[in-house]
Structure 1
Amino acid sequence: MRFTSPYLVLPLMTVLLCSCGGDDNNNTTHTEEPTAKPISLTILHTNDHHSYLEGQSYQLKLDYDAQVAGAESVRVDLGGFSRIASAIQEYRNDNTLVLNSGELNGTLYFSLFKGEPDFKVFNYLGLDAYEIGNHEFDEGDARLAELIDMAEFPIIAGNIHPTEASPLYGKDIKPYIIKEIDGEKVAVIGVLKVEKTRESSLVSDDVNFSDEIESVKEHIADVKQQGINKIIVLSHLGYDFDQQLASKVNDIDAIIGGDTHNVLDSTGEISDMGVHVDGAYPTLVANPEGRTVYIAQAWEYAKGLGRLNIEFDAEGYATQVKGNLELLVGNNYQVLDAESKWIDASTSQTQAIDNTIETLKTIRTIETDAQVENIIAPYKQQMEAFKLSELGTVSSTMPFTRIPTPFVNGAEPSGSYAAQVVADAFLQYLPKADVAIQNAGGVRAEFPQGPFTVADAYVILPFSNTVITLDLTGAEIVQVLNEALDYAQGISGSTGAFPYSSHLRYDVALNAPEGTGISNVEVKDKTTGEWQAIDLQATYTVATNSFTGLGKDGYLTFGVVREERPEAYEESDVAYVVPLLEYFRETLPAQELPALNWDEYCIKSVTDLAN
C-alpha cells in the first residue's frame, strides 16, 4: 500500500515505460522544437541503503552549548526509511521525481528475508524509478526475478540483457522511463557498473551486459528521437565513473548516482558535523560541448535524503540547479556527561540541540512514518526472535587465544581457532575472494562446544564493521601478515593484531627481526583444493574486515593499497556478523561446526626466537 500525499490525489505525472533501440549518435545538441514552457523539477533520491531499513545511532558534532566542554558531541538516531518516507511525503508534489539508485544486502533484514521488506517499503514510497545495483544479484538471478515481480514501481537498467536461460528473461527491466511533468517529458535512464557486478555478485553467465557509456549514449539517442530534451541518468556506477560519464556524453542534464557511498555537500555544514565530505552537492562537470552536468549522491544506509532542484528553460536546458543532502534525525538525543559517558539529553539540552539544528540546512528532525513502521514491524519481530534462536552446534570448543604458543609442524596447533572460523566464513560469503585475513582481536569470544545461537555469534563479533576486499600481490600479502605480527608483538601491546587466515597458511617465528616472522606462505586454490607456495607477483583478492582494511591494527599495507590503488578496494557493505550466520545456516553440513582440521589451519608451526 502506498501513502497518499495531498499533492497526488489528482496526479499530473504519467509514467510512460519505453523500450530501447535506435540511433547511437550522441554528438548532436538539443535541436528539438522549443518546449511550451520552462519547468521546475525536484529530485528526491537515495542510494546504497544495503537493507538498513531502520535508523541507526550516529555521533555528530552539533555545538549546542559553547559554554560546556564536550557539548559539541551528540548521538542521534539517524535516518531510516520511516523518516525518509515522512520527508518524501512532505516534499513531494506534481513536479517531483523519487529515485533510488539501488543496492540491497548488508543486514539481517536481507540475510533473513532476501529483499522482501525492502521492496514492500519501496512499493509504499511509490518510487518513480529504481536502478538495479550489483548487490541485487547476491542471491542470483532467480531471487532478483522474484523481487521484480513483487515491485509496484519501475525498475530500470539500460545495460542489463538477460538471455532466455536466465530467470530474469522477460522480466520488466526497462532501459529508461519517461515522466510527464507539468506537460513536459523527462527521461530517466538507468545504468549499472558491469565489472563489479560480474566479479562481486552471483549474477549468472546467462545475463549479458553492454558497455556503460555506450549504453547511455544509445538510450539518449532513442529518447531524443522522441522529442525529449530533459534527460536524467540514474546511475549505479560510482562517483568517479559518474564524472567520466558526464565528461564523455552530451545531453545529460543530471546524474543521480550510487555505489560508492559518497557524501556530497556544498554548505560546509556536514564536515563541521564531523562527517567526511567527498565533493560538492551537486558536483559540476562539463560535457564535451562545455555544458554543465550536475551530479548528486546521498551517502549510504538510508542516513539521509538527497534533494536536488532543477529549473529548466523553454529549450530544455538546466538554468538553475541547487540542493543538498539532508540528514534526518529523531529528537531522542544522547550527550556526554562529566565522566564522558553517554546519557539521555535533558529537556534543556534537547531544546538547545533542536535550536542548533534549526539553524542548519543539511539536518532536520522529523517524525517517523507509521505505515513504514508497520511494514517493517513483523520482519523486525522475526529478526529479534531469530537472534535468540539456535543456529547449529559446535562439535568442540574453538578457543580464541590471540598469539599462539610454540608448536612443531604436525603437532596440535595453538592460537585462535575462532579467528580461523571467522576468516573461513568471510571467504565462503564473498565469491570474489581468494583468501581471507582476520585479526585476532576482532573475535571477542570462543566458539563454545554445544548449541550455538545467533546471540553467541553477536558476542563473538560485536563490532559494527563490514566485510571488504582488497586486491593484493602475493608479496603484499606476505608483507601485511608480517606487519600485523610485528604490531601484535610491538610496544603498542595490541596482541589483537595477530593475523589468522583462510586459504593461507604459514610458519610463525615469534620475536623475529621485523618483517621476517611469517614465512613459507602457501595458498590453497579454491578450485582444485591444492596448496602451493604463494606467487609473489600474482594478484589475489583478500577478504578482511573494514577495520583492518583501513590499515588499522598495524595492517599498514592494506591502508596503502587502498589509498594508492582505490580500484583495488571494494566495500561489500555486509555487516560483520552476517557471513558467520550464513556460514552456519547455508555452508556447514547439518549446521555443525566440526573440529579444527589441522591441515587447513593457517599456522603450520610456531617457534619463539627469544627462547
Structure 2
Amino acid sequence: MIKNNKPARITLAHINDTHSYFEPQSVQLQLNIDGQQIAPYVSNGGFARIATRAKQLKANAVQQQRDFIFVHGGDCFQGTLYFSLFKGKANSELLNALNIDVMTLGNHELDMGNAPVAAFLDRIQFPLLAGNWDLTNEIKTKSHYLKGRSNLLSYQPETKTARWMTRIMDGEPIAIFGVSLDKMADIANVDADTPFVNAFETTLNTVHAIQTSGINKIILISHLGFEGDCELAKQVEGISLIVGGHSHTLQGDFSALGLKKECEYGLQIKGTYIVQAGYHSQALGHCEIDFAADGTVTAFKGKNELLIGRRLCLDASLLTVSNDKIHTQASDFLRQHENVIVCKKDPQLQDLLENKYIPRVRALQNRVIAKVDEDLRHIRIPDLNGGSEIAPLVAESFAHMMNKKGHPVDFAIHNAGGVRTSLYRGNLSVADIAGKLLPFVVPIGVYRIKGKYIAQALEGAINNATNNGVVGTGSGSYPYTYNLDFNYYPERALGKRIAELTLYNAEKGWVNIDPELFYAGSSSAYTMKGKEGYQALTRMEGDGVVTEHSMADCFIDFIQDRPDSLKVRSNKQ
C-alpha cells in the first residue's frame, strides 16, 4: 500500500491500427496556397519514419527530465502483404525495432485464432495487454497454450480484474492495463475456450483495485473504439488517460491538408483524457502529462503528427517531383503546419525492412497477372449506383477454386467487409490482390446446408449491416453472392425479409431454392462460423470443410484462369 503519492511528469507516444503498413504510402493532400488549390502527393508514414520521430520525442523527454513510454493501441496484424507473407513474424520484429513498451490486443490479432498470438508472444520484447480475456478454462493440451505467460496480462477471474503492470515513472508508480472489444467472438476467431468478458465491468473493477493498492495514476490502453472510450470515461472515474484504437480516429485539425477533422486531440471527459492516432502508420501521437500527487492531471499538452517526406510530387507513384513556385510555397506551408513533421527514415529500421522483408514483397508487386480496363467500384451496402462490382467476383472465385479442387459447390457467399478497396484501371499484380484487395489471411471452406438456412443467413447478414431490428456490428457483413439471387424486404417482420430466393442452374437457369433441400456452398471460414449475422450458416451439415486456400489465393487463381472476368460488370443485387 502506497501512502505518500507524489507528482509526476511523463511523455507518452502512441500508435494504433498499424495493420502491417510498414512502408510509407502515397497520400494526396488538398492545399490552398494563396488562393490557389493544389493537390500534391507525399510519401506518408511508415515504421522507419515513426522510429525517427519516436527517438526524437524520447530525446526531448530526457532533456526535459520526463520519463518516456511508447504504446500501441492494437491491431498490428493483417492489412498488407507483409502479414500475408510473414504471418506475424515481421510484425513482432519491427515492433521490437520500434522499441514499443507495451501493446493492447486488437481484434485482428485473433482473425486466425489464438495460435498466431501465441507465436507473437514468443517473439515480442514487450508485454501484451488483454485484461478482459479470460483464459481460466483454456485447454491445457493445446500447442499454443496462453495461460500463465508472463508477457500476456489477461483477466483475473478471482478478482474480476485485469492484470496490470506498474511502471515507475518520474519516481512514481503508474498503473497501465488494457481491455479489448468484449464482443470478440462476433468479429474475430478467438478460440472458444478463451472468451472475452465485459470490458466496462473489468475496467471498473480494475480501476478500483488499482486505487485500493495505493496507485492513483492510471493509464488504460484500449481497443474499444473512440465511442467506447468516451463511454468508459463518462462512467468510470479515476482513469487519467485512455490511449485508444479500433475506430481509426485521427484526432486533431488536419483540415488544411484536405483531411476530415474528427475531434480535438486529447478530448477530455470528466477528468480523463482520450487520445488516438489514426491508422496505417500514417501518424504518431504524443502528449506530455503532469500529474498532481492525488493523481489528477494538472497539465496536458499533445498532438497527432502526420509524418511525411520532403518531396511534393505530381502523381501517386511519387516519381515526378515539382519544384515550381507554388509547390515550393506548399512545401514551406507543410513544414510550418503544427501537425505535420517532415521526417527522414530511421536507417536501422529501414535496413531491416530492405534486407529481410521488402525483396519478397517487391517480387509479388512486380508479378502482373491481369489488366483492369475500367475502374471497378467496391461499396459495402448498395446505393443508387448499385452494389459492389468486385465482391460478387470474389464470391465466384471461391466457387471456382472449390470446384477445381474437388469440392463441388452450388453457390458462394462473401461478406462485403472482406473486400478492402476498389480496383482501378491499369495493371493488376499479385500484390494488389493479396496486399490491398483481399489482405485478410482467412481460408475458404465448403459446406452443405438447407435452403431455409441460406435465406436466414442472408437476412441476418443484411439486418446486421443495416441495423434493421438488431444492433449490428457494422456494414461489412452485407452479403454478395455467386449463383444466388434474392430480394430483401426491410419493412417485413424478422425472419420473413428474404423472398424470391433462386439458384442458377446451368441446365434450367434460375430455379427456386427449396427450403428443405440441401445445397453446397462456399464462404470464408470466418463467415462459416456465423459471424456478424451469418449465424444460420452454423446450421450446416456437420462442420463443413475448411481448405488451405485463402481469399487471395482463390481470386488470383480465378483471374489467371479467366482474365476476361474483370470485364464483367453485372450484379443482380
1:464-483 equivalences under 5 Å are: 474=459
Corresponding residue for residue 84 of structure 1: 50
Q: 1:371 aligns with which of 340, 348, 352?
A: 348
The aligned residue for residue 484 of structure 2 is 505
Shift of 1:134: 0.5
Instruction: Report if aligned partners of 2:398, 2:555 keep a CA contact under 8 Å in 1.
Output: no
Query: Which residue number corresponds to residue 331 of structure 1?
Result: 310
User: Residues 373-423 of structure 1: CA distance to partner in whole angstroms, max 9, x if unpaired?
Assistant: 1221121111112345699xx9xxx99999xxxxxxxxxxxxx99864423
Query: AA paired with 1:521?
Result: L
Distance 1:368 1:321 in 2: 29
The equivalent of 1:520 in structure 2 is 500
Preserved CA contact (<8 Å) 2:80 2:436: no
Call closer, same or farther: CA 1:150–1:333 in 2, change over 3 Å. Answer: same
SS at match of 2:290: strand
Q: Is the 8 A contact 2:31 2:257 kept in 1?
A: yes
Shift of 1:344: 1.2
Equivalent of 2:257 in 269, 273, 279: 273
Q: Distance in 2 between matches of 1:587 and 1:465?
A: 9
Residue 405 of structure 2: aligned partner: none
Letter in structure 1 aligned against 2:349: V
Distance 2:364 2:102 in 1: 33
In the alignment, structure 1 residue 255 sits paired with structure 2 residue 228: no
Find the counterpart in structure 2 of residue 70 from structure 1.
Answer: 37
Please give the residue correspondences for 1:290-369 in structure 2 after superposition, counting only pairs within 5 Å. 292-335=271-314, 343-346=320-323, 351-369=328-346
Following superposition, the deviation at residue 533 of structure 1 comes to 7.7
Q: Which residue of 1 aligns with 2:180?
A: 192
Q: Which residue of 2 aligns with 1:54?
A: 23
Aligned match for 1:380, one of 337, 347, 358: 358
Counterpart CA distance in 2 for 1:61 and 1:399 is: 28
- CA shift for structure 1 position 502: 2.0
Letter in 1 for 2:256: D
Shift of 1:335: 4.2
Contact 1:120/1:375, CA 8 A, preserved across alignment: no
Task: Provide, for residues 321-376 of structure 1, a one-character-per-residue CA deviation record: whole Å limited to 9, x for no partner.
Answer: 1211111111021148xxxx994121755643332123221111011101111221
Alignment match of 2:111 (pick from 138, 161, 175)? 138
Offset at residue 532 of structure 1 (A): 4.2
Letter in 1 for 2:68: T
SS in 2 for 1:217: helix
CA–CA distance in structure 2, aligned partners of residues 427 and 245 of structure 1: 44
Shift of 1:500: 10
User: After superposition, what is the alpha-carbon deviation per residue over 1:538-577, rounded to whole angstroms, capped at 9, x for unaligned?
Assistant: xxxx99xxxxxxxxxxxxxxxxxxxxxxx99xxxxxxxxx
Give the % identical residues.
26
User: Could you report, residue by residue, the CA deviation over 1:65-105 in whole angstroms, capped at 9, with x for unpaired residues?
Assistant: 416x333x221111111111101100113511101011021
The alpha carbon displacement at 1:245 in A equals 0.8
Q: In 1, Cα distance between the equivalents of 2:226 and 2:168?
A: 28
In structure 1, the partner of 2:148 is 170
Counterpart in the other structure of 1:20: none
Q: Which deviations, in whole Å up to 9, do the C-alpha atoms of 1:24-80 show, x marking residues without a partner?
A: xxxxxxx964423x22111100001111111111112343x416x333x22111111
Q: Residue by residue, what CA displacement relative to the aligned partner does 1:556-608 show, whole Å, maximum 9, x if unpaired?
A: xxxxxxxxxxx99xxxxxxxxxxx993354799x9998899xxxx999999xx
Contact 1:442 1:461 (C-alpha < 8 Å) held by counterparts: no
Aligned to 1:35: 5
Distance 1:320 1:160, change over 3 A: same
**Residue among 68, 71, 87 paired with 1:99:** 71
C-alpha distance after superposition, 1:187-210 (max 9, x if no partner):
111000021x21222211021222
> Using the alignment, how far apart are the partners of 1:424 and 1:400 within structure 2?
20
| TM-score calculated relative to the size of structure 2 | 0.67
Unpaired runs of at least 5, structure 1: 1-30, 287-291, 403-415, 447-453, 481-498, 509-517, 525-529, 535-541, 544-566, 569-579, 607-611
d(CA) in 2 for partners of 1:157, 1:462: 28
- Helix, strand or coil for the counterpart of 1:44? strand
The amino acid of 1:158's aligned partner reads G
> Deviation string for 1:503-548 (max 9, x for gaps)?
562289xxxxxxxxx9833489xxxxx98489xxxxxxx99xxxxx
Aligned length: 449
1:603–1:455 distance in 2 versus 1, CA, 3 Å: closer
SS at match of 2:10: strand
Distance 2:112 2:435 in 1: 25
Q: Does the CA-based 8 Å contact 2:78-2:439 persist in structure 1?
A: no
Distance in 2, matches of 1:305 and 1:326, equals 5
Whether the 8 Å CA contact 1:34–1:316 is kept in 2: the answer is no
Q: Aligned letter for 2:234?
A: S
Out of 86, 93, 109, the position equivalent to 2:82 is 109
2:395 to 410, 419, 423: 423
User: Which shows bigger deviation, 86-95 or 44-53?
Assistant: 86-95
Structure 1 residues 272 and 140, CA gap change in structure 2 (3 angstroms)? same
SS of structure 2 residue aligned to 1:123 = helix
The question of whether the paired residues in 2 share the 8 Å contact of 1:427 and 1:434 is answered with no
Contact 2:462-2:479 at 8 Å conserved across structures: no
**Could you say if the C-alpha distance between residues 445 and 359 of structure 1 is closer, same or farther in structure 2, counting changes exceeding 3 Å?**
closer
Change (3 A) 1:500 1:319: closer
Residues 209/129 of structure 1: CA separation in 2 closer, same or farther (3 Å cut) = same
In the aligned structure 2, how far is the partner of 1:53 from the partner of 1:225? Answer: 41
Once residues 506 and 143 of structure 1 are traced to their aligned partners in structure 2, the CA distance between those partners, rounded to angstroms, is 37
1:154 is aligned to 127
Partner of 1:284: 268
1:400–1:444 Cα contact (<8 Å) kept: yes
Q: 2 CA distance for matches of 1:475 and 1:204?
A: 23
| Contact persistence 1:235–1:257 (CA under 8 A) | yes
**Counterpart of 2:21 in 1: which secondary structure?**
coil
> How much is the aligned-residue C-alpha RMSD, in angstroms?
4.7
Q: Residue 17 of structure 1 corresponds to which residue in structure 2?
A: none
Give 1:221's match in structure 2, choosing from 200, 208, 211: 208
CA distance in 2, matches of 1:603, 1:586: 20
The answer (yes or no) to whether the contact 2:72–2:103 under 8 Å persists in 1 is yes
Q: Is the 8 A contact 1:57 1:78 kept in 2?
A: yes
Amino acid at match of 2:52: S
Q: Secondary structure at the match of 1:208?
A: coil
Amino acid in structure 2 at the alignment position of 1:192: S
Secondary structure in structure 2 of the residue aligned to 1:188? strand
- Could you say what secondary structure the match of 1:264 adopts? coil
